[in-house]
Structure 1
Amino acid sequence: MCRSIHTLHNFEPAATSEEVHAAALQFVRKIAGTTKPSKANQDAFDRAVHEIEHITQHLLHDLVATVPPKNREEEAEKARARAVRSGRYAAPAA
């Protein structure tokens, strides 16, 4: 899966429409194999992003969580710590 597509379900605060759009855009880019479609494909590309964004909003609305929502800041900090441990990124300077 694309690294830039993040889990959007069961977070507090809930995913914004901008986050849903960004995930849909990244998904379509991955499937299409391009970040910028040709003029001939622009309409199909934009339509796919719109439709995936729309259905993702429905999915997020319909999903039921059985655990308390995760805190966005805490999860982001955990991800940063994992990235440092894996050597992907250097530790931030103090």
Structure 2
Amino acid sequence: MCRNIKTLFNFDPPATTDEIYAASLQYVRKVSGFNKPSKANEDAIHLAVEEVAIATQKLLNTLVTNAEPRNREIEAERARARNAKRFGLENQE
């Protein structure tokens, strides 16, 4: 589940609100153990996701680096190549 959380810092263009929310949702799902919470826990999970998203946005806004921003397309291609090598999909599309 946590493998779906992507690095969000130092990209051009910067991480979107949707990407931050998705990462927050994955984090809360992992730590809570709920993929789909019961009605009794739905409000608590939603609140936690919102709070984690806010904290994540604050973190991303305050981090600094001297490194050049990474290009999303290049990083995505590198990830596809790593996955192809890892899972033996070099000849498949």
**TM-score normalised over the length of structure 1:** 0.92
Match of 1:48 in 2: 48
Larger mean Cα displacement after TM superposition, 7-16 or 33-42: 33-42
| AA in 2 matched with 1:70 | R
Percent identity for Structure 1 against Structure 2: 52
Identify the structure with the greater helix proportion: 2
2:85 equivalent to 1:85: yes
**TM-score normalised over the length of structure 2:** 0.93
Instruction: Mark the runs of 5 or more structure 2 residues left unpaired by the alignment.
Output: none
Q: CA deviation at 1:88?
A: 5.6
The alignment partner of 1:65 has SS state of: coil
Deviant stretches of 4+, over 6 Å: none
Count the aligned residue pairs: 93
CA distance in 2, matches of 1:91, 1:3: 24
1:23-71: CA deviation from partner (whole Å, max 9, x where unpaired): 0000000011111111111111000000000010000000001200000
